[in-house]
Structure 1
Amino acid sequence: MATSDGLGRRVLAYLESARNLVGCGAGAVGLGLHFAGLGGAWWPGVVAGLYGAGALLTPGRDGDPAGRGTCATTTPAPAPPTTPPAEPTAPPARPKPAQPEPAAPKPAADPELDALADFLGSVPLPAAAGVAELVAALRAAEPGPAVRLIVRHRLPVAVDGYLRARTWGPWAGADAPDPERELRAAVAVLAAELG
């Protein structure tokens, strides 16, 4: 009968499995302990326990974690179709939309110029001095040593001179130069150097 054939194959597969062989080896160690006089009256339990421990702790075959062997019934794979499937018709190719041309790369932001512009925006400077226009020209200019010198030193010194002159104006006297005119002249020189 088919049922007994399947059961017989399973029993035979288990008898040949690594789990059964390791369990039998552990059981043989238990028998050896009994013959050495160490098992006492409990030797059948010792043999059975060692067999069970060996069988349970041994991993099964790859893809068969329970160690049942390879006698599981498999379903045959379906036969490939005799006629090839119809190829789907491709839709007509659409013209690709025109890619916009990449914009010209913006010059990298200068953190020192940004910090100086923030500071100058917070200081009361006369609009006629042209400081805002000079900052805009510095942003548009090519980076280089001249721009770096103006940003790091010359413009801050000119603004500092204006602010000091305004602070000390009441004690400077009547013949002191006008701070706004001095700042305007310094900014004009810097703007001329930028070209």
Structure 2
Amino acid sequence: MESRKNIAGSACGLVGLVLTFAGVAGAHRPVVVAGLYGAGALIAPPERPALPDFPDPSAQLDEVRDDFEKLRGYLTDVELSAAAATRLRGLTDLLAALLDRGWAAELLTHDPEGVHVLSRIVRRDLPETVDGFVRTRWWTRMAPGSESPELHLERQLGLLTEDAERLAAGLREAEARRQESHTRYLEERGGTV
């Protein structure tokens, strides 16, 4: 009853009734009313399905923040060498700064790729890196003489830190471009500095 096709058909059918009462339709009035209804139904735009309701980037960031807090709890229980612990602390500090609710979060809400990078590091890469280390370290104790799992852990943490630093550099560049753009705007408006 509420479809666009029915509404358009009914409006055209009413025009047919008006034509019938005006005497224009003559003896063919039922055909005119039905034909106008059908024509209206055919020319009406089709119904569009509703767009899916995806969470906005700020809601996605909130979920990543929650997952990061869970991850931090997990990381406090893992025994690491001093060098690996230092690298891990540097990475988690950088991730905490990127996930902070300040200006970085505002920039990330306009950067879905950045949200994806953070999500990938927090939800998959960092937990897998640390879990792989814990598992391999246990096996290394059972069969000594193989390559130290600490070396792989430190390399992996270094690579993840580089990913996070690239993201931070991209956000910093975006903010610098915004500032430069505002300076140009003010200069073009007539106010020179």
Q: What TM-score does the superposition give when structure 2 sets the normalisation length?
A: 0.42
Whichever of the two has the greater Rg, that structure is 1
Q: Relative contact order (C-alpha < 8 Å, sep 6+): which is higher?
A: 2
More helix by share: 2
